[in-house]
Amino acid sequence: MKLGAALGRIGASIVKEVKAGDDRSTLLLRVAEDKGDLWVETFTELMLQAAGRKDVWTADVSKYFFTQNGTVRYFWRIIVGGKTQEAYELLGRIALEVSMRHTKEISSFPLVGRAEYVRDPARGLFKGAHNRSEGLPMDVAAHFVAR
């Protein structure tokens, strides 16, 4: 998965990437307001990982303030030095891990139409999609072949 897609899962989008040689790069990011907690968790983990890899690469995360049309705005700025590709791969993995930790899985969902599910084959109430007028499930191929 590309870095932009991984960051998108936590509500961040890359606005600009500036490369200053092979061993220095800067990312400017926008983060959705409702996803700020995911971003904080992501860059905190990145900073903790960077502290243990200072001999390979370094990372600096900060806010970059600027004015636009009379208002003050900001980007999140990540400055990476050293092996930038390795740092960006780690950032992508961290973003995916954070997004997965905050994902909720639905195991069942009630079908629309009945408040309570009743299965009664004698009355034509089968599980799943069915043809109520003829009382048979829609996947009964023999019924349609016999016609």
The answer as to whether 111 is a domain residue is: no
Q: How many domains does the chain have?
A: 2
- Give the pLDDT of the chain (147 residues) as one tens digit per residue: 688 999 999 999 999 999 988 889 999 999 998 888 999 999 999 999 888 888 889 999 999 999 999 999 999 999 999 988 888 999 999 999 999 988 877 777 666 665 555 666 676 665 655 555 555 555 555 555 555
143 and 97 in a common domain: no
Query: Rounded to 5, what percent of the chain is helix, strand, coil?
Result: 35, 30, 35
Sole residue written with tokens 């003829």: 134
79 and 24 in a common domain: yes
pTM (two decimals): 0.65
* Tokens encoding 16: 């600009």
